[in-house]
């Protein structure tokens, strides 16, 4: 009886192996999805909001299927372009910032940049089982910079450095005018552009009474495009409103979402990973300095207060008189 059970178990395992192999070889793979969600006019530029989702391959009901990777999905990217250049302003989502990095306040467009890092703070030595062990304590540093956009470049208006120490102390040092970034809102109106017809390797459209034609690059399939033409400060921007699917790990800079017409040919608009080239040479930061200690645990043996503080004052005054 035991031999029969072992044989049945072995037979089941043998049958499962080809089945699993067939499931893996089915159309299941990780990939990225990008889609233009909205286009907003800002001082002659275009703010483009792009949705991003990631899909991974996982076992569902005994079969391999693509499923949403929640840790790297439900994201939004914000791109600013004048028709000649494009800049990635930032992103919002689970694995990015937890605050919308762009928005309007009182009719002015602002951009928030946040950088986080871990830095060595102090070296300590502890004795463990009679042997000294060296450890490096780490402090967490967050730098928050706010920029104001006036139509030509981004001017820095404030900078805050928040440092969290291993003992629980958190300090905040700020320069410039502080803004309530939670009040950031996208512009109230979108722009919708003009329909672009794409076929047989060419595009054609009419914009503000003028006819445009251009040639598509040979490696682009016109059937995969749903182009719309928009007017920006330095030229026409062609935006692909089709869902773009890319292999896993490919970023926004690889997605054929933005393009322009150059010498009668459609060429992709590159989106660099940051907006450093758009920052004004002379950032506008006010002279106001503020340093605040957000939270500091009680210190023992170092705090001077009460009677001890009065004694210290009296001693200092006596020392001053003797010097005189």
Please state the rounded mean pLDDT for residues 302-312.
35
pLDDT (0 to 100) of residue 282: 60
Q: How far apart are CA 115 and CA 291, in angstroms?
A: 19
Token pair listed for 220: 């682009």
- The per-residue pLDDT for 26 is 55
Mean pLDDT across 2-24? 39
SS3 210: strand
Poorest-pLDDT segment among 43-57, 111-125, 141-155, 293-307: 293-307
83: left (phi over 0), alpha (psi -120 to 50) or beta: left
Contact between 184 and 112 under an 8 Å Cβ cutoff? The reply is: yes
pLDDT digits (tens, 9 = 90+) for 23-81: 344 568 899 999 999 999 999 999 999 999 999 998 878 788 888 888 888 899 999 99
pLDDT tens, 82-101? Answer: 999 999 999 998 878 778 89
pLDDT at 109: 96
Question: Contact at 8 Å (CB) between 126 and 136?
Answer: no
pLDDT in tens, 215-225: 998 777 777 78
Query: What global pTM score does this model have?
Result: 0.76
Tell me the pLDDT of the chain averaged across its residues. Answer: 80
Q: Note the pLDDT of residue 72.
A: 83
The residue among 113, 117, 74, 71 whose CA lies nearest residue 90 is 113
pLDDT value at 322 more than 60: no
Mean pLDDT of 297-307: 38
């Amino acid at each position: 009886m035991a031999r029969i059970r072992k044989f049945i178990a072995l037979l089941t395992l043998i049958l499962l192996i080809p089945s699993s192999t067939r499931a893996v070889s089915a159309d299941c793979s990780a990939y990225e999805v990008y889609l233009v969600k909205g286009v907003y006019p800002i001082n002659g530029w275009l703010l483009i909001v792009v949705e991003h989702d990631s899909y991974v391959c996982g076992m569902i009901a005994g079969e391999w299927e693509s499923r949403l990777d929640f840790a790297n999905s439900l994201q939004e990217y914000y791109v600013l372009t004048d028709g000649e250049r494009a800049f990635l302003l930032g992103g919002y989502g689970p694995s990015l910032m937890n605050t919308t990095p762009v928005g309007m306040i009182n009719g002015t467009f602002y951009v928030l940049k946040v950088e986080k890092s871990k830095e060595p703070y102090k070296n300590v030595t502890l004795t463990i089982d009679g042997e000294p062990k060296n450890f490096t304590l780490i402090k967490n540093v967050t730098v928050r910079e706010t920029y104001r956009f006036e139509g030509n470049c981004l001017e820095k208006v404030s900078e805050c450095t928040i440092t969290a120490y291993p003992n629980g102390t958190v300090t905040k040092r700020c320069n410039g005018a502080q803004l309530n970034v939670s009040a950031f809102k996208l512009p109230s109106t979108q722009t919708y552009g003009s329909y672009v017809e794409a076929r047989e390797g060419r595009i054609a459209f009419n914009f503000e009474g003028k006819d445009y034609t251009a040639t598509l690059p040979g490696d682009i399939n016109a059937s995969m495009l749903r182009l719309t033409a928009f007017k920006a400060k330095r030229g026409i921007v062609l935006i692909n409103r089709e869902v773009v699917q890319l292999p896993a790990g490919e970023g926004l800079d690889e997605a054929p979402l933005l393009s322009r017409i150059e010498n009668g040919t459609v060429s992709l608009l590159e989106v660099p990973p940051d907006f450093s080239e758009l920052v004004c040479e002379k950032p506008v930061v006010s002279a106001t300095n503020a340093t605040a200690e957000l939270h500091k645990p009680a210190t023992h043996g170092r705090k001077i207060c009460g009677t001890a503080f009065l004694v210290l004052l009296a001693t200092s005054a006596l020392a001053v008189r003797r010097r005189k």
